[in-house]
Chain A
């Protein structure tokens, strides 16, 4: 992976820069010892590593502003970091960068049940936001698989989704406002506790900008009252294609489940061996969950089961208890971990129109044969967000490169059928060189304008999102 050449001038002034940062931050908030900066050398895309020049851990918006002002004036790149769970290398440092970690910004600032929002510092983890409002039976809807660890800051940067976004939407649909520090230290408030923007929708622009427009330190998030209950049903099929048609039929019938998850046989087997979720051994498995009162759940699941039966499922099992539901979801949420036990894997994230599901699955199977690498599929079927996991051996020379080539071909296929490169993980460094597949030069130029306006020096989160070649002149300016 090509990264910008570290600027010698910045490396040379490390000692002075560290002193300047220490002067505006509390003791222990500047990490500069080369042994310690290694902790920040990568995120969850561990194939790529590079320790930063230094890392800082500010505890307030003011401290973030002070850090950014210094880096701006010194022309030093800054890599914002939530919890480092990005699968796309969204927080990969460069050797001449300062990593700005938000881990110490973890407070709840305001909880307002009447107006249904919570205001938090963005280092707080996704799950702990729901945890903070659980006593009143409220929750924060976006639920990425990494929700135990991932920070709201990263969720906003990547516009994270989750299993339940078919009904509740992704981060951008649940974000009401942010406090953001621009690269030059300017603090801006965008949105708030009200709905809808007063002028241009800058909140929508910031969400999903991969930390390249500013550092979001506080967020106002929409919270919702929990439904009275929820219950999943497991539906097994002996063909991926039939499972795909069943998904489409459920949606067409006017039912809007909170989640429709899909797993294929390799994934089912690995998950069973790992957590013993009680999944049937079949070609394709759907987990469909609905919400509401007992009677509402019964009615909706009744309809879903009727639709499923028309497609001759090999298994049709409704959860009978809270424990059973938990076990069903444990399997799904452990799928990535289960695959990790078998092998190294690369997790793709392309989205396709739901109607193309059978075709794309078939093509991926063919590619798997061509490259000689196994693939397991687990994904959000209701919205077409696929997660093919390509298995490879990191210790085998050339295997990673082969896997990346395979992955690129799958993502190109996603774009070809009318989809996109990434549905919820973000572009990061992983997919930046494929952006030309989805976008024309003019399409990308319009995105560069946004960066030009928010961060004219192109210092924030360098080398991510866009092909390096296309931004070279801007970054050098």
Chain B
């Protein structure tokens, strides 16, 4: 089912009797296998307002991400949270939409410095499970008027409402970007080096460590962005600061730097890998220890200075159960339908949080028809 307007969408949701599988571009099918009528938001498309001088953009939820990014690029601006493209990792086709990005709160390497998608989301319009149109937030950068349902909707995977419109804060594009690379570090040393860089005054916008897979040696990546003189100054300071870890190689070719960080953002290292993929969010310094505890046959790569770990492990393995208790959470991103039906995709929550979450779902989707069971 494809709808052309917000009011059509509201009417459709109000009238339907069946569970709905809500779809933007269909490129991020995270969650257990779903049964229901596919509700496509592709018909709700178009940028409705873009004010470069106010750093704000408002678009209908089904607007292709590429269209948003092209409009921003034409004015020398961008989405600072650098949304990941899941198509390579999940083997999906289709066109990512801005609504899909928001519904899954997808960010990229720059999240460690600039914040996540939710931090740039200024406002939402959505249709709840009863078919009511609800708005929250707006299109201004500072807004504390009433409860913040904007953050709640970001990353709620369409389970609380169907997004019809999103309003985003955007930022200026940078003049230049450069990478620093250190080769051959152990996971522990790499995370220490990245922590040092993140705790320096040199404003790094990427901090990743790609462990050595078969045929490859580990590489630790740091990214710097800004005005040209500033980048070259900070690059020099960091090279000096990190030299105790080994040779610190610099890369400033724009195409190479862009390709490096696209590969990190989209976890290219696991694209053509038959294994399952998990995503862990942890305290950065805990990361190497946690990875060391993983069963043989697992490979891990780190982003966000260690705060984000991507793990490939044997198909069907319950990595979460194998790790036991840890501070943070693990999400099963890629696995067969059977595995995703068997193992909880999202991290189980403690009882009081589960009660709050269940309470919210019962209010926003009283009939349980919006992506039912997707988040548990």
Contacts and interface: CB of A to CB of B under 8 A. Distances in A.
A112 B306 CA distance: 15
Nearest to A165: B142
A439 B135 CA distance: 8
Contacts of B283: 115, 192-194
Nearest to B136: A443
A472 B51 CA distance: 40
B198 interface: yes
Contacts of B281: 194-196, 198
A199 B284 CA distance: 20
A447 interface: yes
A446 B284 contact: no
B134 interface: yes
A205 B116 CA distance: 15
B11 interface: no
B308 interface: yes
A114 B134 contact: no
Contacts of B356: 188, 202, 453-454
A180 to B, nearest CB: 10
Contacts of B327: 192-194
Interface in B98-144: 105, 107, 111-112, 115-116, 118-119, 128, 132-136, 138-144
B105 A351 contact: no
Contacts of A69: none
B138 A418 contact: yes
B201 A196 contact: no
Interface in A412-444: 418-427, 431, 435, 438-440, 442-444
Nearest to B346: A199
B328 interface: yes
A420 B328 contact: no
Contacts of A173: 115, 119
B329 A194 contact: yes
Interface stretch (A28-36, A52-60, A246-254): A246-254
B142 A383 contact: yes
Given A194-B328, A199-B346, A256-B172, A446 B148 contact: no
Given A248-B53, A438-B145, A446-B149, A201 B285 contact: no
A244 to B, nearest CB: 10
A354 B152 CA distance: 26
A254 B174 CA distance: 7
Contacts of A116: 195, 198-199
A186 B115 CA distance: 30
B156 A427 contact: no
Contact of B132 (A251, A421, A442): A442
B376 interface: yes
A112 B148 CA distance: 29
A191 to B, nearest CB: 10
Interface string B187-212: 00000100100111101000000000
Contact of B144 (A137, A204, A225, A424): A424
A352 interface: yes
Interface stretch (A93-101, A290-298, A339-347, A394-402): A290-298
Given A199-B346, A443-B134, A300 B227 contact: yes
Contacts of A138: 199
B54 A355 contact: yes
B173 A439 contact: no
B146 A447 contact: yes
A169 B147 contact: no
A333 interface: no
Contacts of A352: 140
Nearest to B307: A195
B304 interface: yes
A355 B198 CA distance: 35
A117 to B, nearest CB: 8
A357 to B, nearest CB: 9
B154 A204 contact: yes
A112 B307 CA distance: 14
Contact of A420 (B53, B134, B143, B364): B143
Interface in B286-343: 304, 307-308, 327-329, 331
Contacts of A384: 54, 140-142
B48 to A, nearest CB: 12
B347 interface: yes
Interface in A176-235: 182, 186-190, 192-205, 207-209, 225-228
Nearest to A193: B283
B50 to A, nearest CB: 11
Interface in A114-141: 114-116, 137-138
Nearest to B280: A194
A352 B307 CA distance: 36
B142 A254 contact: no
Contacts of B135: 439-440, 443
B151 interface: yes
Given A195-B116, A208-B147, A453-B363, A385 B199 contact: no
A192 B286 CA distance: 13
Contact of A439 (B115, B146, B160, B201): B146
Contact of B350 (A189, A440, A466): A189
Contacts of B56: 353
Interface string B351-376: 01100110110011000000000011
Given A295-B233, A446-B128, A204 B148 contact: yes
Contact of B357 (A113, A199, A355, A431): A199
A256 B364 contact: no
Indicate the member of A207, A420, A425 with the most B CB atoms within 10 Å: A420
Contact of B284 (A114, A292, A444): A114
Contacts of A251: 52-55, 172
Nearest to A212: B147
A199 B349 CA distance: 8
A293 B227 CA distance: 12
Given A159-B144, A425-B144, A454-B356, A446 B136 contact: yes
Contact of B146 (A114, A189, A435): A435
Contacts of A208: 144, 147-148
B187 to A, nearest CB: 15
B138 A419 contact: yes
Contacts of A466: 146
Contacts of A204: 118, 148, 150-152, 154
Given A196-B111, A248-B54, 20 more contacts: A113-B199, A114-B285, A115-B283, A115-B284, A170-B144, A182-B352, A188-B353, A194-B307, A202-B353, A254-B175, A293-B230, A293-B234, A295-B230, A299-B229, A385-B140, A418-B138, A439-B146, A446-B132, A449-B360, A450-B147
9 contacts: A166-B141, A190-B353, A192-B328, A194-B329, A205-B151, A296-B227, A354-B51, A418-B139, A425-B144
Interface of B: 51-56, 75-76, 105, 107, 111-112, 115-116, 118-119, 128, 132-136, 138-152, 154-156, 160, 171-175, 192, 195, 198-201, 203, 226-227, 229-230, 233-234, 281-285, 304, 307-308, 327-329, 331, 346-347, 349-350, 352-353, 356-357, 359-360, 363-364, 375-376
Interface of A: 112-116, 137-138, 158-159, 161, 165-166, 169-170, 172-173, 182, 186-190, 192-205, 207-209, 225-228, 248-249, 251-256, 292-293, 295-296, 299-300, 351-355, 380, 383-385, 418-427, 431, 435, 438-440, 442-447, 449-454, 465-466
| Nearest 7 A/B pairs, CB to CB | A204-B151, A198-B329, A248-B53, A423-B142, A449-B363, A453-B359, A254-B172
